[in-house]
Structure 1
Amino acid sequence: MRAITYSRFGSADVLELTEVPDPHVGPDTVVVRVRAASVNPVDWKVREGYLEGVIDTTLPAIPGWDVAGVVEQVGLDTPEYQVGDEVYGYVRKDTVHDGTFAELVAAPVRTLARKPASLSFEEAAAVPLAGLTAYQAIQRSGVREGQTVLVHAAAGGVGAFAVQIARALGARVIGTASERNHEFLRSLGAEPVTYGDGLADRVRGLAPGGVDVALDLVGGDAVATSAAVLAQGGTIASITDATARTEHGGHYVWVRPSTADLDALTELFDAGKLSVEVAQVFDLADTADAHRASESGHTRGKVVVQV
């Protein structure tokens, strides 16, 4: 099969289109014919070698965790799926080696769910990692109707999902973003504020009594700012800064594969309560350019590769 591989850590230049053996189907896995995969910042951070010791890589490696496609082969103990089922998933394994930027991927059933009927394969591929991150951070924080939620980096891939999921739960959402993304946040139901110096004062201007939940999706001083605007008994959750838990009694969220959580996202999509924005679509042979587009930080929405 054709796959994107890299044999050494480095820039996007190390990515190559190669021929590799078809994946083996294990007893609790299915082989998915990949229709689309998407790029997440973690993909190029792993490729650069920044996360060695946190996420192990076996070289040569096929990158990618997000996938949408069609089940082509089932394992011995996979009653959840049949050949021909349309699925999507966050196919994270213990080691980065046989990822989703390929024509075929062996996916443990615990990493998959049925694709939302309302989404194309390209749109579905843009969901799993970012959507699960947002959903699990919100669930961990206990967001509920009537609360005020502050979302840092609300126009980003994870942030846009967090805004919509919190709104679907009946929460009021304040979202930080550059001014060029304020109208986009309004379209999602959030009240935008510009990030940078004076952010805490601007948030207090919108929520004088403080926010009930703050979601740090960007790092930097977001946790410290969140603590400064948190209401009594409020909660901070971060996907980048463990001090949210160790110093502020909140949550440090490392996204995990979950069929149940993907099913919950599917229900929101098919009910029209959740949408996904695809910024650019590249062919498999142009995956290096897709990585470069993601690294630029200038895209709103997800970068997708079609196979």
Structure 2
Amino acid sequence: MARRWTASAPGGPDTWEFAEYDVPAPQTGEITILVRAAGVNPADYKHVARPGATFPIPIGYEVSGVVTGIGPGTRIGSGTVEVGDEVIAFRVQGGYATELTVAADKVFAKPESLSFEAAANLLLAGATASEMLHVTGVVTGENIVVHGASGAVGVSVLQQARLLGARVVGTASPSSFERVKRYGGIPVAYGPGLVDRVRDAAAGPIVAALDTVGTDEAVDASLELVADRSRIVTIAAQRRAAQDGILAIGGAMPASAAYRNGIRAHLIDLAGAGALEVPIARTFPLADAPAALRFLAEGHPGGKIALLP
């Protein structure tokens, strides 16, 4: 029988339950996936803590795996599908599972060149990064700053900005400088004197700021560096966004959800062609999901984390 992680009440991962459950048979517009890897994201535990959450909550937003069942007359987001096909599913509920049935329009063919671990971690970070570049209107030849450039979203921003032809200064700790350089960014250390270091590294005006960390330092530096507040975006400082008139985006916002849904196929194509890499820091057995989330919460995993059933 299949198993999955579920939060039955408010609380951290150590209070969640890993229990057997019956996987629904796929109906028209649905498919069933045998999970080979589940992506691990901060949103997985933040979803449980949000105000007004309705329990029980199956955990996990993105997976990769193999199709084991197809509803009558059903196609997936990328087209036709057969049992045994390798797929990616994003914006699902209950991905921390051995098997699950999902809406077929959330599922796309997995490129052969992409590992299950990377595929399961591609789309949440990648779609967030893409939307940050989209809403700030970044184009070829511009100088931008990315706060938290060595994190999962930051690394995807670096790669996608490089494809656009933008020049990126990325804030990070010195221990993460090599990762920022590897993905096309110019690393600078956060801390006192940040604005001057960013300006020196950019060798030109900074026209947009993308904040993935949400600190006051990041927002304050962005406001000092970028004249046009419509070109400053955060995914982690909603209070400052409302206070200072900058952009805030998030997967629960209708406009963000629509954009992220629409960009999935493009990101998969980029990854399949080798133009968008998903660095994997570590894998954990699915049964050790709380340990994986503790590792993530330490703040510097050095790449993405995958759960393996």
Give the TM-score, by structure 1 length: 0.88
Distance (Å, rounded) in 2 between the aligned partners of 1:200 and 1:78: 53
Distance (Å, rounded) in 1 between the aligned partners of 2:13 and 2:230: 41
Q: Report the secondary structure of 1:57's partner residue.
A: coil
Corresponding position of 2:55: 58
Q: Does the aligned pair in 2 maintain the 1:71–1:81 contact within 8 Å?
A: no
Query: Identity of paired residues, percent?
Result: 38
Corresponding position of 1:287: 289
Asked if 1:88 corresponds to 2:83, the answer is no
User: Counterparts in 2 of 1:103-252, with a 5 A limit?
Assistant: 103-207=98-202, 209-221=204-216, 222-231=218-227, 235-242=231-238, 246=242, 250-252=246-248
The residue identity in structure 1 corresponding to 2:190 is: Y
Distance (Å, rounded) in 1 between the aligned partners of 2:16 and 2:233: 34
Q: Does the aligned pair in 2 maintain the 1:112–1:259 contact within 8 Å?
A: no
Moved more, 231-240 or 153-162: 231-240
Higher relative contact order (CA 8 A, sep 6+): 1
Asked if 1:301 corresponds to 2:298, the answer is no
Q: Does the aligned pair in 2 maintain the 1:175–1:185 contact within 8 Å?
A: yes
The residue identity in structure 1 corresponding to 2:226 is: L
Q: Could you tell me which runs of 5 or more consecutive residues in structure 1 were left unpaired when the two chains were aligned.
A: 93-97
Q: Report the secondary structure of 1:58's partner residue.
A: coil
Corresponding position of 2:22: 21
CA RMSD between the two structures: 2.2
Give the TM-score, by structure 2 length: 0.88
1:209 deviates by 4.0
Corresponding position of 2:264: 262
Corresponding position of 2:37: 36
Q: Does the aligned pair in 1 maintain the 2:282–2:305 contact within 8 Å?
A: yes
Q: Report the secondary structure of 2:231's partner residue.
A: strand
Q: Deviations over 1:153-208 (max 9, x none)?
A: 00001110000100011111100000000111111110001012221121122235
1:42 deviates by 1.5
Distance (Å, rounded) in 1 between the aligned partners of 2:113 and 2:142: 29
Q: Deviations over 1:29-60 (max 9, x none)?
A: 2222111101111212234x2x123xx3321x
Q: Does the aligned pair in 1 maintain the 2:135–2:231 contact within 8 Å?
A: no
Q: Could you tell me which runs of 5 or more consecutive residues in structure 2 were left unpaired when the two chains were aligned.
A: 252-256
Corresponding position of 2:64: 68
Distance (Å, rounded) in 1 between the aligned partners of 2:194 and 2:106: 38
